[in-house]
Amino acid sequence: MSESPRSYHLPVLLSEVSKYLITNPEGIYVDGTLGGGGHAEGILTKLNKNAQYIGIDQDKEAIQYSKKRLKRFKNVIYYHSNFADLDIVLNQLKIKMIDGILLDLGVSSYQIDTDDRGFSYMKDTDLDMRMDRDKSQTAGDLLNVLDERELNTIFYTYGEERRARQIAREVVKYRKQQQILRSDQLRDIIDRVVYHRFRIKSYARIFQALRIAVNRELDSLEEALEKTIKFLHQGGRCLVISYHSLEDRMVKNFFKKKANPCTCPPEFPKCICGLKPDIKRITLKAIKASEQEINENPRARSAHMRVGEKI
């Protein structure tokens, strides 16, 4: 593994993350997607030494990398887990409440660039795509065992691929002749269905869909969002950075519902359901990167950050 911080992607919206996350410089903060430690490094420099920072990641390689990057900070706890298990992690650490949590979703540049991880459609690699390599099921497993209907659901729901049904049908047809184990095989299947000028986007959508399915990314996000409210101090904040519409829509709707849970018909003069908001939305619109940051880090272009504060 390279020692350069650029092995992992540059942290997006770093100044905005520090600005919105830190409400108590001596508080307890959770980084649910530690990755290469880029956000952690920036946040830790602004926290008091008495603060506590809990870095969670399901990728053991990311944790080992971050330990080297953050070795000068003595107030970091590293935890190999999925952020959906936030309650388990905090209970094991005997922490009842936290002041903030950051979730930077998606996949890192290091994971994409590491050939044997299988995240990239640009190289011929094993179709792995596991963020936690202790898990058993790979993308190749899904392609070889799921039926056409299940594959179509994954491709259409998680990839928003228009030709999902045709690609799913071609996958089932192809695997009758041989197992699908390599990215070149999957690209070949897509090539048989999608017109040449649309193929790059379809590659990206199908690989994204498989990655989300393998890692249960949307399920994990939904579980984690629900748990953050329980553990946040009053005034504590949840920050989520997403990179595609499925994630951002889920976060937006979650914050919207928690900020206005009333179920009364709109014609009622006042609320009688008794449901009270759990959070307030710090900004109604997603926070996006500046043009300067996008020029320096093109990955920031698709980043959307939303912030909710516990009431």
* Token pair 């590659």: residue: 203
d(CA 93, CA 113): 34
CB 288 within 8 A of CB 254: no
Q: 219: Cβ–Cβ under 8 A, 6 or more apart, which residues? A: 84
Q: What is the mean pLDDT of the chain?
A: 92
**Which CATH code of 3.90.380.10, 1.10.10.10, 1.20.1560.10, 1.10.150.170 fits the domain covering 116-215?**
1.10.150.170
Token code pair at residue 136: 């058993």
d(CA 237, CA 225): 12
Residue 235's nearest CA partner among 39, 50, 47, 98 is 98
Q: Over 90: is that where the pLDDT of 106 sits?
A: no
pLDDT band at 5 (very low <50, low <70, confident <90, very high): very low
Half-sphere exposure of 7 (CA within 13 A, CB side): 17
| Residue ranges of domains in the chain | 5-110+217-310, 116-215
231-284 pLDDT, tens digit per residue, is: 999 999 999 999 999 999 999 999 999 999 998 888 888 888 889 999 999 999
Residue 52's nearest CA partner among 98, 102, 104, 103 is 98
Token code pair at residue 178: 């041989």
In angstroms and rounded to an integer, the radius of gyration of the C-alpha atoms of the chain is: 21
What pLDDT is recorded for position 281? 97
CB 28 within 8 A of CB 54: yes
d(CA 307, CA 182): 39
Q: Is CATH 3.40.50.150 what the domain over 5-110+217-310 is classified as, yes or no?
A: yes
Planar angle of CA 34, 132, 80, nearest 5 degrees: 50
177-231 pLDDT, tens digit per residue, is: 999 999 999 999 999 999 999 999 999 999 999 999 999 999 999 999 999 999 9
| Domain 5-110+217-310 and domain 116-215 have a common topology | no
Planar angle of CA 169, 180, 61, nearest 5 degrees: 125
What pLDDT is recorded for position 7? 53
pLDDT band at 6 (very low <50, low <70, confident <90, very high): very low
Q: 239: Cβ–Cβ under 8 A, 6 or more apart, which residues? A: 17, 20, 21, 100, 101, 102, 103, 305, 306, 307
Half-sphere exposure of 87 (CA within 13 A, CB side): 9
Neighbours of 60 (CB within 10 A): 13
Planar angle of CA 92, 75, 307, nearest 5 degrees: 75
Q: For strand 28-31 and strand 52-57, is the pairing parallel, antiparallel, or unpaired? A: parallel
54-67 pLDDT, tens digit per residue, is: 999 999 999 999 99
